[in-house]
Amino acid sequence: MDIAEIAATRMSTTELLDRLVAFDTTSRNSNLALIGFIRDYLDRFGVTYRISTNAAGNRSNLHAVIGPRTAGGLAFSGHVDTVPVDGQAWTADPFALRRRGGKLFARGSCDMKGFVAACLAAVPDFQALPLARPVHLFITYDEEVGCLGAQRLIEDMAESGLRPDLCVVGEPSRMKPILAHKGKLNVDVSVRGLTGHSSEPSKGVNAVQAAGEAIAWAAREARRLAVEGPFEDGFDPPHTTIHVGTVKGGTILNIIPEHAAFAMEWRPIPGDSAHRHLERMQAYIAQTIEPAMKAVHPACGFTCEVTLEMPGMALPADHALATVVKRVAGTNSAGKVAYGTEGGFYQNAGIPTIICGPGDIAQAHQPDEWIAESELVDCDRFIRRLAGQLLV
């Protein structure tokens, strides 16, 4: 493709963002139409890519390789699924990009189609570089529901052998490098009691009250961790946290509730294990709560089911990737965040990973989600300079 053809084909970051946000890729929906658009766009430039899909076949990842089609090089990673807009007070169509006061409004503009648009806009500039090592683009599905796409993409990389040496995840960080984030363990807890009339409580087992004892333990444990740690500077808060988010149980007041359930999470700092905290809770339940329940009926008790596990991420501050990203981003500092990303999965797959992307996480998932145009300009500059410094 000559210069004139490239000029006629290329699109700006804002133009691409306008196209990307028009696809409603809420995690419950298919993303195949959006991936089809990206495939058509990359086909114009002759970029090769691999597609990997979920078991249902209604969501796909795209792994593009620009430059030498080999392992090694640098990956830019972004997900294209979004959280729902249901029940949010949007002032206009969430899936139509609006510009006002230097801001671009739409669902996904910040988290994180803005970064994906910037990577796609840079494709012809990547191709113009004398790349000794490849640029990889990871475009994934279902990040918002457990990084399912990233895990499938890692499986596909094992098949293809096209694994990069380094990765930048462009989650919103206001273009500030992020070296580490916490992990996450989600657990659904079910309680089986024995029903009866509330006037004879000793003849039944109150599942709601049993659940309440476990929840009270979680509250005490959360306070203990805040005092005793372990701690890691740079996180807010600087320790592992516990949170109970939903509770269900009971029918009417004069019936002993037979069933109860609650959902909880641990967010451990890197180096801490959420499973050890889960085991502590299970031991407390087995030793303190369940004996009295089973004395009434042996079928009573608790069941804990892990529904989601996301690893933490920690890149050493003196790693070469941290050094060059800070230099290209124009900062001497790097931070840590409590939220999770796909970065932990890439790191566990042996790919040193850092987070650096446009937008503020405070705008993510909000009604009238927005990203500053100035940060997209900074992102455009950042990804081109980073590729030039690491891959040429």
If you average pLDDT over residues 285-297, what whole number do you get? Answer: 98
Give the pLDDT of residue 8: 58
Express each pLDDT in 63-92 by its tens digit.
999 999 999 999 999 999 999 999 999 999
Q: Are 317 and 334 in contact (CB under 8 A)?
A: yes
Express each pLDDT in 217-247 by its tens digit.
999 999 999 999 999 999 999 999 999 999 9
Phi, psi angles (nearest 5°) of residue 78: -150, 145
Express each pLDDT in 306-359 by its tens digit.
999 999 999 999 999 999 999 999 999 999 998 899 999 999 999 999 999 999
What percent of the chain shows pLDDT beyond 90?
Answer: 97
Q: Are 62 and 137 in contact (CB under 8 A)?
A: yes
Residue 169: both structure tokens together:
């995840």
Give the pLDDT of residue 10: 87
Kindly indicate the confidence band of residue 5, based on its pLDDT and cuts at 50, 70 and 90: low
Phi, psi angles (nearest 5°) of residue 339: -75, 160
Give the pLDDT of residue 358: 98
Q: Which residues are catalytic?
A: 81, 143
Domains identified in the chain and CATH numbers: 3-181+311-391 (3.40.630.10), 184-309 (3.30.70.360)
Phi, psi angles (nearest 5°) of residue 169: -95, 125
Is the pLDDT at 148 greater than 80, yes or no?
A: yes
